[in-house]
Amino acid sequence: MPSHTAAAGPVPPRRHRPPRRRAAVAVTTALAALSLAGCGLRLETPPPVAPSPDVAEELRQDAVAEAATIAGTVSEVTAEGATADLLTRVGAEAEAHLDALGGVWVAWPEGAPEGAVAPEPAPTAAVPDPDAADVLELLTTGAADAREGAVAAPTDDLAAVLAAVSLSRAHAAAQVAAATGAAAPEPAAAPLTREALLVRGVDGPTLRVLDQARFAYETVAARSDGAARESAVARAAHLQSLVDAAVEEGAPDERLGVYDLPGADAEAGLTAEQAAVVDAEHRLLEHWVFSLGLVSPDGRGALVDAAADSARRLVGAGGTLPALPGLG
């Protein structure tokens, strides 16, 4: 050991000893553990605890559970003809939703640590002897739940996926209701208001999407008569009000004098006027779903409802919706 030279004079007492005391305790603990190990004993440690899902994961799990329930229920329904074909499509869309949402949550994707007990996956409610009415109820409830999730989602990507799922389920519910003669659920759909547009914020692309849709409807109105013309005129006027609001707020003016419109689609059975409406509403739907990432949760509800309104008009003009409307 190193030698110590006595100091000339009294040494003041050293009062601060916690570090040495902590070190002594650590050494004693280590020795005790070694002693126990030598006797054939070992200290027990609690099993690993599964990570707790955060808010985003909980919303995703809820949507996954509903998608799995819808898919499972549809597969058990006995139907014929057009109703059977419709239910098959509803089941396929629910499977697509499962894929888009990432499937059932797994605590340890690479495998649970030794001794760990993995939590049970999110439950899916089984519907005994289901029929189309059960599917309709699941779709209606699921559409409302996904809409709420899209509004509350803490991430932009999850908000967009949940909005698309909500739109898809709402459309499927309307189709099932029509096929079975049931009362159609009231969709949460409403045209975007000026106030909601300003909350979203105005920019050049938004102004151009609105103006292109306005042009399409004015063209349709000029080529139509009766109720079809009145409907197109009203929609064009509403879109013009949004265009005016964007210009007044200083959005970069990217408008064109004339826009290309699609022609008749014989394969889809659409006239030129129908195709123009489908194209315009498709652009608006995608734009509002994209815009969910630009606003806080307080501003999302109006955008989801505007996307639902465009989806309704698109379908009303003879268009079809993909499994995930608004996501391309």
Q: Could you tell me if 215 and 258 are in contact, meaning their C-beta atoms sit under 8 angstroms apart?
A: yes
What six digits make up the tokens of 129?
């002897």
Q: How confident is the model at residue 127 (pLDDT cuts 50, 70, 90)?
A: confident
What is the spatial distance between Cα 126 and Cα 83, in angstroms, rounded to a whole number? 21
Distances (CA, A) of 165 to 66, 134, 307: 11, 19, 12
Across 273-296, average pLDDT: 97
Cα 229 to Cα 206: distance, rounded to the nearest angstrom: 25
pLDDT for 37? 44
**In angstroms, rounded to a whole number, what is the distance separating the alpha carbons of residues 105 and 161?**
16
Q: Which residues of 170-179 are buried (b: 16+ CB within 10 A; e: fewer)?
A: bbbbbbbbeb
Check: CB of residue 220 under 8 Å from CB of residue 273.
Answer: yes
CA atoms within 13 A on the CB side of 80: 0
Structure confidence at residue 52 as a pLDDT band (50, 70, 90): low
Q: Name the pTM for this structure.
A: 0.80
Sign of CA dihedral 15, 16, 22, 28: negative
pLDDT digits 0-9 by tens, 230-256: 999 999 999 999 999 999 999 999 999
DSSP SS3 for 293:
helix
pLDDT recorded at residue 18: 42
CA distance 91 to 97: 10
Mean pLDDT of the chain: 85
105-123: pLDDT as tens digits: 666 666 666 666 655 555 5
- pLDDT tens per residue across span 144-170: 999 999 999 999 999 999 999 999 999
DSSP string, 240-284: HHHHHHHHHTT------SS------BTTTTB-HHHHHHHHHHHHH
What is the C-alpha to C-alpha distance for residues 186 and 17, in angstroms, rounded to an integer?
74
